[in-house]
């Protein structure tokens, strides 16, 4: 499977997915730390991909997503955005609503 197919599969099979540097419990940059903390505060399970451990994804995802930076949050198969957008959504209360809806929808479809 080529790397773009792998990315598509990851996005399709996880209702909430963050591509980040490091892991939620051990982020490797401040942006990934802020984004993953906002996501964790929603209380729902989510998947993550450490792009530092996956250089092919790190190299190819920005072109696929048309989004140049990391972290990248995908919810319900759609790109939400990076750290600033995630933070803004969290502060407005929209992030948790978006995440909960995606998790509930995925559970209904399972």
Q: Is residue 39 part of a domain?
A: yes
Cα Rg of the chain (Å, integer) = 13
- Can you give the residue range of the structural domain that contains 60? 3-103
Q: What is the pLDDT of residue 45?
A: 95
Residue 68: phi and psi, rounded to 5, are -80, -15
pLDDT of residue 110: 81
Q: What is the pLDDT of residue 1?
A: 72
pLDDT digit string, tens, across residues 19-32: 999 999 999 999 99
Asked whether residue 109 is domain-assigned, the answer is no
Close Cβ partners of 48 (under 8 Å, ≥ 6 residues apart): 17, 18, 19, 20, 23, 24, 36
Q: Residue 24: inside a domain, yes or no?
A: yes
Report the binding-site residues for [2Fe-2S] cluster. 29
76 within some domain: yes
**What is the helix (H) or strand (E) element at residue 46, kind and residue range?**
none
Residue ranges of the annotated binding site are: 21, 29, 58, 70, 83-84
Residue 108, in any domain of the structure: no
Q: Point out the annotated binding site for glutathione.
A: 21, 58, 70, 83-84
> What is the total count of domains within the chain?
1
Low-confidence stretches of the chain (pLDDT beneath 50): none
Q: What is residue 21's predicted lDDT score, i.e. its pLDDT? A: 98
Distance (Å, whole) CA 58 – CA 69: 9
CATH number at 67 reads 3.40.30.10
């Amino acid at each position: 499977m080529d790397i773009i197919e792998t990315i598509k599969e990851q996005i399709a099979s996880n209702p909430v997915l963050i591509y980040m540097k490091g892991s939620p419990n051990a982020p490797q940059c401040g942006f990934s730390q802020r984004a993953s903390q906002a996501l964790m505060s929603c209380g729902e399970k989510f998947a993550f991909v450490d792009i530092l451990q996956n250089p092919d994804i790190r190299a190819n995802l920005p072109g696929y997503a048309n989004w140049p930076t990391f972290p990248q949050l995908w919810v319900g198969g759609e790109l939400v955005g990076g750290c600033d957008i995630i933070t803004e959504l969290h502060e407005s209360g929209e992030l948790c609503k978006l995440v909960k809806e995606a998790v509930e929808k995925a559970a209904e479809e399972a």
